[in-house]
Amino acid sequence: MKKSSLEAVSLASTLAQGGKVIAAVFTKSSFKNQLEKAGATIVAFQDISYSPTKHGEALAQLAKKYNSALILASATLHGKEVGALCSASLDCPFLADVVEIAGTQPLKVKHPVYAGKAIATFESKAAQNVLTLRPNVFTYADHPTTANESAEQTQIANVGEMLVDFVKSAKAKKELTESDIIVSGGRGLGGPEHFDIIEQLADALGAAVGASRAVVDAGWRPHSDQVGQTGKTVSPKLYIACAISGAVQHLAGMRSSKVIVAINKDKDAPIFKIADYGIIGDVFEVVPALTKEILKRKG
Amino acid sequence: MKIVVCVKRVPDTETKVKISADGKALDQSGVNYILNPYDEFAVEQALQLKESAGGEVIAISLGTAETEKILRTTLAMGADKAILLKADNYTGITETRTIAKLLATKIKEVGADIIFFGRQSIDNDAAALGPSIARELSLPFCGLITKFEKTNEGIKVGREADGGIETFTLSLPCVVSANKGLNTPRYASLKGVMAAKTKPLETIPVQLSDQLVSVVSLELPGARKEGKIVAEGSAAVEQLVKLLHEEAKVI
């Protein structure tokens, strides 16, 4: 089970206050053990191959069957589209990328807007709501309980949408939006070949590798690595920005990181204004030294 | 083919967000508005599809009167017609369902073979309008596409997900949302800008009826605690690691 899925179940358990928590799983196995540890009281499972509309529909049918007041999904790529499709099927409100539940009667949630430059608090008067939750924000806690398994047999009509292929990347990459630690590189690295120092530091920390827009636009790194307003929004425990100046669009994507470290040779780089810790220096000296120090302490 | 592209007027990425006096909205003074960056990829793909398969491109948007300028931009890029659902009190950060229904009704009337969206708007960031309208119209959907191909049976699209590439086939009519990397959006030529002035732009006033979801407040994110420069050069590394471990407790 994805960490972010378990975060959602854990939150559901807290909000349910003793009420039913239904974990919806669209695979052959029910993952009952992990889910009941997180707080699920019912695990409703059914093997449905992925297609956005099918999963959205199946989720909506479950919400109707169990008369759920709140439907939660993690704000991953799949979670966001399935959540939105589900809410449209139920004809109920959809609130995306929630970072805080501010109230339950009526439901009040907070989510970032303007790429995280502001936080909006929304209140819903609807009896049923679909929320997607930003990964890494709602800390997982065990809520051990005993879950009943329910093998569902929802009939979903074919809707002309079919997943025909999935090709995994040769290099298994950590997903940025779900990573606890991210090391990011910017244009100051000078070229794609210099990203090796970033990757080595990331390996030492068990971190994901991110990139600024400049680096992606220059073709050094793929768009899926981009952190920022037109890339990914991340909320890791630790974000290390290497040779990144700190343009407002980049900050929009990483400013909710718990701890920010900046390494840059320009003491006036805007990134230092938002960093918790900064090192003024040449990334080609500092980053390998940092990797060495981390490995030394690990060993 | 009737190719519809749904676009939005948003504050540009340079915007320094200030909160309005009532504490619920963006203070608009000094804000520069643009076509949502992700919508550019949608418009470009719509135009490329028209160029290869024939037909017309219809741009549609829900917004205040000022949204007309954004629709003229899409006409200047090459769209044939534009439709504005004019909602005077639209703020851009509303819950999606309300506007999805209004747009879906008009799009159904138009009779689209394919509807393009940008993956998300950079103000609301919900990525929900495309899926919502797809479901409203009972059409297949695929979001965040970075590959697009017209086939005999419909379309074939690809996107990055879960550390790999997913490929979907969709029958027509269908809905897709475009991600950065799908194509390189064209600039409007001067000829395009001139032609846009006389292309048809229909304005239909709509009402955002009493919504179930309302904005209670809009706030700036909490200021971060002031940081410190640990030291200069690689000599600072030992101290930094110590601080990250003992003080910040993140490693």
Interchain CB distance below 8 Å, B234 and A275: no
SS3 assignment, position B62: strand
Mention every residue, 6+ apart, whose C-beta is less than 8 A from residue B242: none
Mention every residue, 6+ apart, whose C-beta is less than 8 A from residue B211: B94, B95, B98
Reading the block at residue A196, the tokens are 């090796």
**In sequence order, what DSSP letters do the residues of A96-123 get, joined into one string?**
EEE-EEEEETTEEEEEEEGGGTEEEEEE
Scanning every residue of chain A, which has its alpha carbon at the shortest distance from the alpha carbon of B169?
A: A162
User: What residues are paired with A45 via a beta bridge?
Assistant: A25, A151
Chain A and chain B share a number of CB contacts under 8 A equal to 286
**pLDDT given at position B97:** 87
**pLDDT given at position A281:** 95
Strand locations in B112-200 (E): 114-118, 141-145, 147-150, 154-161, 164-171, 174-178
For residue A27, the chain B residues in CB contact (below 8 A) are none
The dihedral built from the CA positions of residue A36, A38, A43 and A49, taken in this order, carries a sign that is negative
Interchain CB distance below 8 Å, A78 and B161: yes
Interchain CB distance below 8 Å, A252 and B13: yes
Distance (Å, rounded) from C-alpha A23 to C-alpha A12?
Answer: 9
- Asked if A246 has any chain B CB less than 8 Å from its own CB, the reply is no
Q: How far is A171 from chain B (nearest CA, A)?
A: 9
Reading the block at residue B207, the tokens are 């009402």
A279 and B230 in contact (C-beta within 8 Å)? yes
**pLDDT given at position B128:** 95
Confidence of residue B209 (pLDDT cuts 50, 70, 90): confident
A117 by Cβ neighbours in 10 Å (0-12 / 13-18 / 19+) ranks as: buried
**pLDDT given at position B105:** 97
Task: Select the residue of A97, A277, A294 nearest B230 (Cβ to Cβ).
Answer: A277
Which has the higher per-residue pLDDT, B56 or A231? B56
Mean pLDDT of B210-227: 88
Task: Select the residue of B16, B167, B224 nearest A165 (Cβ to Cβ).
Answer: B167
Reading the block at residue B37, the tokens are 């960056």
For residue B20, the chain A residues in CB contact (below 8 A) are none
Condensed to tens digits (0 to 9), the pLDDT of residues A60-111 reads: 999 999 999 999 999 999 999 999 999 999 999 999 999 999 999 899 999 9
Interchain CB distance below 8 Å, B224 and A116: no
Q: How far is A30 from chain B (nearest CA, A)?
A: 20
Interchain CB distance below 8 Å, A160 and B244: no
Interchain CB distance below 8 Å, B248 and A259: yes
- Asked if B105 has any chain A CB less than 8 Å from its own CB, the reply is no
Distance (Å, rounded) from C-alpha A288 to C-alpha A292?
Answer: 6
Interchain CB distance below 8 Å, A279 and B143: no
**pLDDT given at position A115:** 85
- Asked if B173 has any chain A CB less than 8 Å from its own CB, the reply is no
A259 and B248 in contact (C-beta within 8 Å)? yes
* Reported ipTM exceeds the 0.95 cut: no
b vs e for A137-157, b when ≥16 Cβ sit within 10 Å of the residue's Cβ?
Answer: bbebeebeeebeebebebebe
Interchain CB distance below 8 Å, B160 and A78: no
Condensed to tens digits (0 to 9), the pLDDT of residues B5-19 reads: 999 999 998 888 999
Q: Return contacts of A58-66, CB within 8 angstroms, 24+ apart.
A: A58/A24, A58/A26, A58/A152, A58/A154, A58/A156, A59/A24, A59/A83, A59/A86, A60/A85, A60/A86, A60/A89, A60/A90, A61/A154, A61/A156, A62/A22, A62/A24, A62/A152, A62/A154, A63/A90, A63/A128, A64/A90, A66/A20, A66/A22, A66/A42
Interchain CB distance below 8 Å, A112 and B124: no
Q: Which residue ranges in chain A fall short of pLDDT 50?
A: none
Residues 33-92 of B with CB under 8 A from A: 37-38
Condensed to tens digits (0 to 9), the pLDDT of residues B86-102 reads: 999 898 998 888 899 99
- Asked if A3 has any chain B CB less than 8 Å from its own CB, the reply is no
Scanning every residue of chain B, which has its alpha carbon at the shortest distance from the alpha carbon of A177?
A: B162
pTM of the model: 0.91
**pLDDT given at position B227:** 87
Residues 54-83 of A with CB under 8 A from B: 56, 77-78, 80-81, 83
Chosen for mutation from B10, B12, B13 (greatest number of chain A CBs closer than 10 Å) is: B13
For residue B180, the chain A residues in CB contact (below 8 A) are 223, 226, 230-231
**pLDDT given at position A177:** 87
Mean pLDDT of B34-56: 97
Torsion region of B126: left, alpha or beta (phi above 0 gives left; psi -120 to 50 gives alpha): alpha
- Asked if A135 has any chain B CB less than 8 Å from its own CB, the reply is no
